[in-house]
Structure 1
């Protein structure tokens, strides 16, 4: 698994906390300035450093704001269960508080579900979406991934204590002893059933879907997700005049669920979509 090293940069750097919903004070860190802001949401057990140099590359022409969800990174936990809707409301509140909207949103894995849900609940804050390695319904994950989710509880803390995500968490968390609770809350979230297929069909914002060819979300589900967005349903013709969807699908060769978020090829792919 990729470790979270903050890239050195000559770009403008800002950071702070925003009061969002449910008593959460969400930490954010931004790179660059100008352009349409891009708000980035990490995966489970991650933080604002998770995408590494990908964010530096994306910030060359815009402001990139990486956030940390409730209980992750610098953002302290509160007495509130994790839920997709609460996380989505938090992201929307941050966009409004920092006057970023309508912004582009990008999320990986758990963060991909969060930005997708944000656009569904708060379409006015989302211009374009980039969903990296996340399905639109829970059973879009491979069966062995779903089986692994069953074991995400604090009972596995001693194993997680040896992992790069824990080391990254321990370096910045306001309460290092809260990691077992983070495991329990995350497990409860990812085990809960959901199916957003019909809401995906109704999305107004164009979506870039990105997966590795060795991802925990198989290409078959990626194609199904893309079809809900209007993709892959008909031949656009030799000149493209037959109509192509505003949304896009990319399968990155040689990438897995555990390295696709930091792949060097991700930045130009996302940049091209956001500028299109």
Structure 2
């Protein structure tokens, strides 16, 4: 458990277990504790490096906007700082978007990528979810005081008084339009997409995202030889908020990360 100075940010990270490195990125207003329910399962098989992103958890905010792209560069710099060779990366929600940008902006850095409950376009969220994102500001921060995310932040953040500022900066980020479809289609790294069947992202978007990765475009054949290198999992009985703590998540992620992925053809 330590800090790494990268790109002008002191990133908090924790290392658990041993083996091939797996970097974990939490969701908005979260921290490394987000993965606490599944961390023992992951760390039993992998060297897990869990990171607190800019302004979250034990990583203090700095004088720059919150952007998926800059946080992705922070993650790449941390991987380099730690000397991780051929790491895998798994991100949830906000962390899923940052993980995706890491793969896009730093081709060849990652061995495999797991994106959990994150779209590749801003309009991939349900309209009511987008409306809630648009409304996030300091007033929302005040209403969220006393909730589990605030209690965690108040306990671990270097400057707990920054809670309203975090909501303001997150609101600015979440109001920004983006569509990474073309860049997703150009990815060479194998990707596992994981969603809940009652996620904040409709299953139809998950299918479109998978299609950009070469999935769902043709029959795999009797021997599965025409399957894509990427994978899609829709986990039953879960939502956007409980998928990250479900044992079903490592149950689908670890086989993808452990076993060989045969290219189509």
Q: TM-score, normalised by structure 2?
A: 0.96
Distance 1:83 1:200 in 2: 18
Aligned residues: 259
- Residue 101 of structure 1 and its aligned partner are, at CA, apart by 2.9
What are the superposed Cα offsets for residues 91-131 of structure 1, whole Å, 9 maximum, x if unpaired?
Answer: 00000000113210000000000000000001232110000
**Which residue number corresponds to residue 241 of structure 2?**
258
Distance 2:6 2:108 in 1: 17
**Which residue number corresponds to residue 223 of structure 2?**
239
- Residue 240 of structure 1 and its aligned partner are, at CA, apart by 1.4
**Which residue number corresponds to residue 18 of structure 1?**
4
- Residue 233 of structure 1 and its aligned partner are, at CA, apart by 0.3
Aligned partners of 2:133 and 2:175 also within 8 Å: yes
1:188 aligned residue (172, 183, 189): 172
Secondary structure of 2:214's counterpart equals: coil
Q: TM-score, normalised by structure 1?
A: 0.92
Segments of structure 1 that go 5 or more residues without pairing to the other structure are 1-14
Q: State the 4+ residue runs in structure 1 displaced beyond 4 angstroms.
A: none
Distance 1:133 1:39 in 2: 17
1:95 aligned residue (66, 79, 98): 79
Distance 1:120 1:158 in 2: 35
**Which residue number corresponds to residue 113 of structure 2?**
129
Segments of structure 2 that go 5 or more residues without pairing to the other structure are 260-265
Q: How does 1:204-223 map to 2 (within 5 A)?
A: 204-223=188-207
Distance 2:170 2:86 in 1: 28
Secondary structure of 1:254's counterpart equals: strand
**Which residue number corresponds to residue 4 of structure 1?**
none
Is 1:29 aligned to residue 32 of structure 2? no
Distance 2:135 2:147 in 1: 16
**Which residue number corresponds to residue 271 of structure 1?**
254
- Residue 159 of structure 1 and its aligned partner are, at CA, apart by 1.2
Distance 1:239 1:157 in 2: 53
Is 1:174 aligned to residue 132 of structure 2? no
**Which residue number corresponds to residue 40 of structure 1?**
24
Q: How does 1:100-115 map to 2 (within 5 A)?
A: 100-115=84-99
Distance 1:123 1:165 in 2: 33
Aligned partners of 2:37 and 2:246 also within 8 Å: no
**Which residue number corresponds to residue 139 of structure 1?**
123
Aligned partners of 1:55 and 1:267 also within 8 Å: no
Is 1:155 aligned to residue 136 of structure 2? no
- Residue 62 of structure 1 and its aligned partner are, at CA, apart by 1.4
Distance 1:115 1:220 in 2: 21
Distance 1:39 1:157 in 2: 29
Q: How does 1:50-69 map to 2 (within 5 A)?
A: 50-69=34-53
- Residue 252 of structure 1 and its aligned partner are, at CA, apart by 0.6
Secondary structure of 1:77's counterpart equals: coil
